[in-house]
Amino acid sequence: MSKICEITGKKVITGNSVSHSNRKTLRRFHVNLHTKKFYIPEEDAFIVLKVSANGMRIIDKKGISAALKDAREKGYFKG
């Protein structure tokens, strides 16, 4: 499975590691992803999402239903 947050759409990006001598080597910046189970009261069901720490904060602020609605509109969540 890919390393993409299903709420925010964050994914792995690439950059450089820069040493003290200023040599540059390619590296990857991974997303802080967690597999977490959420309860949706409207559907009376649980859903398992791969969300970043930022995605969890968005769910805490907006609520799971509003966050999923926004993610579906933006194309991040297809479930």
Per-residue pLDDT for the chain (79 aa), expressed as one digit of tens each? 589 999 999 999 999 999 999 999 999 999 999 999 999 999 999 999 999 999 999 999 999 999 999 999 999 998 7
For 5, the token pair is 């947050």
Give the C-alpha separation, 66 to 21, whole Å: 48
Rounded to two decimals, the pTM is 0.85
- Identify the pLDDT of residue 79: 79
Which of 2.40.170.20, 3.40.50.1240, 3.40.1030.10, 2.30.170.40 is the CATH number of 13-74? 2.30.170.40
Domain assignments of the chain as residue spans, ordered by start = 13-74
Q: Give the span between the Cα atoms of 63 and 67, in whole angstroms.
A: 6
